[in-house]
Amino acid sequence: MMGPGFGMGFGFGGLGMILFWGLLILGIVWIVQTLAQRPPASGSQRESDQALEILRERYARGEITREEFERLKQDLMG
């Protein structure tokens, strides 16, 4: 003979299962949306900014001419 609580699942029967799976799906959707909205980690952007700063410093010190600066800047900017 089975006890009085048999088949009740989480205590709510089918309603508890629907609630459980609904919350699980909502949680997964929320995680995916949060990750999709993050800007990608861009190490290359920082490297490009740093390279451009070095180029400006070299130009300011007189190590390169204006023409060289413009050509190298165009190369860095893509």
Q: Domain for residue 64, yes or no? A: yes
Neighbours of 55 (CB within 10 A): 18
Distance CA(53)–CA(60), nearest Å, equals: 10
Number of structural domains (the chain) is: 2
| Domain of residue 25, residue span | 7-38
Judge whether residue 67 has pLDDT over 70.
Answer: yes
Positions of E strands within 1-78:
none
Q: What is the pLDDT of residue 68?
A: 94
pLDDT over 90 for what percent of the chain?
Answer: 44
Tell me what the mean pLDDT of segment 23-48 comes to: 80
Q: Domain for residue 1, yes or no? A: no
pLDDT over 70 for what percent of the chain?
Answer: 76
Exposed / middle / buried, residue 59 (Cβ in 10 Å: 0-12, 13-18, 19+)? middle
How many residues belong to the chain?
78
Coil, strand, or helix at residue 72?
Answer: helix
Q: What is the pLDDT of residue 66?
A: 94
Label residue 41 by pLDDT band (50, 70, 90). low
